[in-house]
Amino acid sequence: MAAHGREPPGEHAGLHCDCRASVFGAFLFGVALGDSQHLHQSTRMALERFVASVFAPLFFASIGLCTDLARHFDLALVLALTGVATVTKVAGGWAGARLGGLKRREAWAVGHAINSRGAMQIVLGMVALKQGMITERLFVALVVMALATSMMAGPLVRRTLGRDCDRHFGSYLHERAFLPDPAATTVSSAIVELSRALADAHGLDGASIAEAVLRRERTMATGLEHGVAVPHGRLPDLRCPIVALGICRGGLDFGCFDGQLATFVVPTVTPSEDDQTQLQVLADISLSLGSEAVRNQLLAARNVEEVRAALEAAEDGQR
């Protein structure tokens, strides 16, 4: 109890939790997301998943346990704060993306994605509440705002980007660019071998393709999960995406999130001027090969027709 019988801000709201634990949890979360060059990509992803599945739920649960959200909920304040936060973050993200050279639609998508970043606001709000710098009403409004903006980000990004046309990677796969059993035994040799297959299939320069893909691979490993890797790059004056598929049965270390060796290597090269196409093709590869049934069918495939049949069956199942 404070002097003159007045409770410090936050005490009557039930905020008896130590804010330092929440700040420390947020710090660990930030470290997990950091692009540290001292950790293997699979290690960083494992740390991120651990923090997201353990510390993050505890952090948000502590808010509900330590604060009476219903008692201090103010609808007018929540709407005002959410409106101001949304406008400023979306506008700031849009302006930065436009200055960075993105097209208008992609810039709006960046703005909506940035709007979801509210975890640190909650952390700082808890500290400010504990120190008496803000009221319980404002803290509850901060929490609701962070949750609301995070929930709206995904649907708004999808709506903003839309789909001019389907970007199924199987439709870009040439019969000469499917190697059911490549000879490569290393990541770089696999990229070079598959780049040559792409060049042969599309009448391009294999060295340019390999250099574009290897340049990206040196920046960050392109392994996903379930033994899938998506080495990719961009080339100017390319009319449409080009995709290869190699089934490396011995497995190659592309730095997959789950620590597995990559069996399915899908080099993808897209036009330099089209950011959206690359994102959509890579997303389709991740979604399609995320199915164990599809991966098993691809292991048995001996030609492009069988590959496309497996992908079409997966697409029909998703519908």
For 151-167, how does the pLDDT look when each residue is reduced to its tens digit (9 = 90+)?
A: 888 788 877 765 444 45
In whole angstroms, give the CA distance from residue 83 to residue 90: 11
Please indicate, yes or no, whether residues 16 and 150 belong to a single structural domain of this protein: yes
Domains in the chain, number: 2
Please indicate, yes or no, whether residues 207 and 136 belong to a single structural domain of this protein: no
**Is the predicted pLDDT of residue 79 greater than 70, yes or no?**
yes
Average pLDDT over residues 259-270: 95
Q: Of 113, 96, 125, 105, give the one whose Cα is nearest residue 19.
A: 125
Q: Which residues pair with 246 in a beta bridge?
A: 179, 265
Higher pLDDT, 272 or 254: 254
Q: Of 50, 25, 52, give the one whose Cα is nearest residue 122.
A: 25
What average pLDDT is seen over the chain?
81
Give the tokens for residue 241.
């995406």
In whole angstroms, give the CA distance from residue 14 to residue 68: 7
- CB contact burial 272-296 (16+ within 10 A = b; e otherwise): eeebbbbebbbebbbebbebeebbe
In whole angstroms, give the CA distance from residue 175 to residue 180: 11
Domain at 258, CATH number: 3.40.930.10
Please identify, among 161, 179, 194, the residue that sits at the C-terminal boundary of a domain: 161
User: By residue range, what is the domain housing residue 51?
Assistant: 3-161
Please identify, among 161, 193, 214, the residue that sits at the C-terminal boundary of a domain: 161
Percentage with pLDDT > 70 across the chain: 74
Please indicate, yes or no, whether residues 183 and 307 belong to a single structural domain of this protein: yes
Please indicate, yes or no, whether residues 101 and 176 belong to a single structural domain of this protein: no
Higher pLDDT, 102 or 49: 102
Please indicate, yes or no, whether residues 110 and 198 belong to a single structural domain of this protein: no
Residue 119, amino acid: A
Q: What does pTM read for this prediction?
A: 0.57
pLDDT the model gives residue 44 = 63
**Is the predicted pLDDT of residue 9 greater than 60, yes or no?**
no
Please indicate, yes or no, whether residues 185 and 312 belong to a single structural domain of this protein: yes
Q: Are strands 268-271 and 242-252 parallel, antiparallel or unpaired?
A: antiparallel
Q: For residue 247, report the phi and psi dihedrals to the nearest 5 degrees.
A: -100, 95
Q: If you search the block for the tokens 């302006």, which residue do you land on?
A: 95
pLDDT the model gives residue 231 = 96
Q: Which residues pair with 229 in a beta bridge?
A: 223, 265
Average pLDDT over residues 233-261: 92
pLDDT the model gives residue 134 = 85
Total Cβ atoms within 10 A of residue 4: 5
Residue 95, amino acid: A
Percentage with pLDDT > 90 across the chain: 37
**Is the predicted pLDDT of residue 35 greater than 60, yes or no?**
no
Please indicate, yes or no, whether residues 272 and 179 belong to a single structural domain of this protein: yes
pLDDT the model gives residue 276 = 75
Average pLDDT over residues 262-272: 94
Give the tokens for residue 133.
């710098």
Please indicate, yes or no, whether residues 150 and 180 belong to a single structural domain of this protein: no
Q: For residue 268, report the phi and psi dihedrals to the nearest 5 degrees.
A: -130, 125
Helix, coil or strand: residue 248: strand
Please identify, among 97, 131, 161, the residue that sits at the C-terminal boundary of a domain: 161
Contact 299, 247 (CB under 8 A): yes
